[in-house]
Amino acid sequence: MGADMMTDDCRPTRRARLGRRRPEMRCRAGAVRRPPGAAPGLRVSVADVFTDAAVVTVEGEIDLGTAATLRGELLALHAAGRRGLVVDFAGVRFCDASGLGALVAAHNRVTAGGGRIRLARVRPQQARLLRITGLDRLFPTHDDLAEAVAAARSSTASAG
């Protein structure tokens, strides 16, 4: 462990011990360490593909290190002709501002191409975050996955 690293017991960093006015604390308790080369804490998979719609299952944490993966998958599906995208959030344990930014960036590109992103089975924590940020008006949310898929397929059929 380097001289500037914190131990699990949250001791002050080396800089704090060298006489800085306000000690910095860096706690690593509860942090998940991944072995080198391990996949980030997010799994994005395509669950169902229809003529012009797709269901994307997301599991894990959407953060700075994983947001690009989600955005890239959504944009790739849209580029492949899927205008209706349903993102199943049932397995999302955490989503920060970069995760929301990835969703908004994908939304902007998808809607510019005549598509729509819907969110299904959003957990209460993420639903609250969507409400606070006003993104609940941007992304239609559904409690039921089948309902979200039906809405996505009917909206793409009526648009085409």
Q: With the CA atoms of 122, 32, 104 and 87 taken in that order, what torsion angle do they form, in degrees rounded to the nearest 10? A: -40
Query: For residue range 51-89, what is the model confidence (pLDDT) as tens digits?
Result: 889 999 999 999 999 999 999 999 999 999 999 999 999
Q: Which class in CATH covers the domain with range 42-159?
A: alpha beta
Residue 29: is its pLDDT beyond 70?
no
Q: Of 79, 153, 87, 88, which Cα lies nearest the Cα of 109?
A: 79
Q: pTM of the entire structure?
A: 0.72
pLDDT of residue 7: 37
Least confident of 21-35, 43-57, 138-152: 21-35
Ramachandran category for residue 19: left, alpha or beta (phi over 0 → left; psi -120 to 50 → alpha): left
Query: For residue range 83-118, what is the model confidence (pLDDT) as tens digits?
Result: 999 999 999 999 999 999 999 999 999 999 999 999
Residue extents of the structural domains in the chain: 42-159
